[in-house]
Chains A and B, each alone.
Chain A
Amino acid sequence: MNGKVGIGFRRDFADEFLSGNIIQPAFVELAPENWMNIGGYWKKQLNKLAERYAITCHGLSLSIGSPDELDFNFLKDIKDFLKEYNVKIYSEHLSYSKCNNAHLYDLLPIPFRDDAIKHIVDRIKTVQDFIERRIAIENVSYYTPVAAEMDEATFIRTIVEEADCDLLLDVNNVFVNAHNHTYNAEAFIENMPLNKVAYIHMAGHKKVSDDLIIDTHGEAIIDPVYDLFESTLAQMNPVPVLLERDFNIPQPIELQEEIVQLQKICDKQWTKDHAIKI
Chain B
Amino acid sequence: MLLKSETYRHQEALAQYCRDGISVNIPGTKAERLPTYRRLVFNVVKDTIESAFPITYEHLKDDHWDEIIYRFFSNHNCQTPQIWKLPYEFMQFYLNTETVRLATHPYLDDLLLFEWLEIELYMMEDISYPNYKLKGDWVKDIIAINPEYRLIKLEYPVHISPPSRLIDQKGVYFLLMFREKESGRIQFNNLSALFAFIIETLSEHPKPMEEIYADIIHLFGVNDIQLLHNKVTDFLNHYLDKGFILGFRKH
- Please determine whether chains A and B interact with each other in the same assembly: yes
Chain A interface (Cβ < 8 Å from any Cβ of B): 33-34, 36-44, 60-61, 65-67, 71, 74, 96, 98-106, 108-111, 113, 115-116, 118-119, 122, 143-148, 212, 214
Q: Which residues of B contact A96 (CB under 8 A)?
A: 11, 15
Q: Give A109 Cβ to nearest chain B Cβ, in Å.
A: 8
**A34-B33 in contact (CB<8A):** no
CB distance from B186 to the nearest CB of A (A): 9
The contact string, 1 if C-beta is below 8 Å from chain A, for chain B 209-239, is 0000000000000000000000000000000
Q: Assess A122 versus B15: contact at CB under 8 Å? Given A40-B123, A105-B45, A145-B28.
A: no
On whether the beta carbons of B19 and A102 are closer than 8 Å, the reply is yes
- Return A86 CB to nearest CB of chain B, in Å: 20
Given A144-B30, A147-B26, decide whether A108 and B11 contact each other with a Cβ distance below 8 A: yes
Flag whether B136 is at the interface (Cβ < 8 A). no
CA distance A111 to B28 in the complex (A): 9
| B interface bracket (residues with beta carbon within 8 Å of A) | 35 or more
Please indicate which of the listed interface residues A37, A67, A148 has the most CB atoms of chain B within 10 Å of its own CB.
A67
Instruction: Decide if B81 touches A33 in the complex (CB within 8 Å).
Output: yes
Asked if residues B4 and A39 are in contact (CB atoms below 8 Å), the reply is no
- Interchain CA distance A187-B69 in the complex, whole Å: 43
Contact B84 A147 (CB under 8 A): no
Question: Of B72-80, B97-105, B162-170, which binds chain A?
Answer: B72-80
Tell which of A71, A122, A144 touches B33, judged by Cβ atoms closer than 8 Å: A144
User: CB distance B2 to A99 under 8 Å?
Assistant: no
CA distance A116 to B3 in the complex (A): 6
Render B45-58 as a binary contact track against A, CB cut-off 8 A, 1 for contact. 10010000000000
Between-chain CB contacts (< 8 Å), 13 pairs: A40-B126, A60-B81, A67-B1, A71-B81, A74-B81, A98-B81, A99-B14, A100-B15, A100-B16, A101-B79, A105-B45, A113-B4, A147-B28
Distance of B6 from chain A, by nearest CB (Å):
8
Pair B12/A100 contact, Cβ less than 8 Å: yes
Which of A102, A119, A145, A148 has the most B CB atoms < 10 Å from its CB? A102
Chain B residues positioned under 8 Å from A148 (CB to CB): 28
A143 CA / B126 CA spacing, docked (Å): 42
* CB neighbours of B124 from chain A (8 A): 38-40
- A41 to B122 alpha-carbon distance, docked (Å): 7
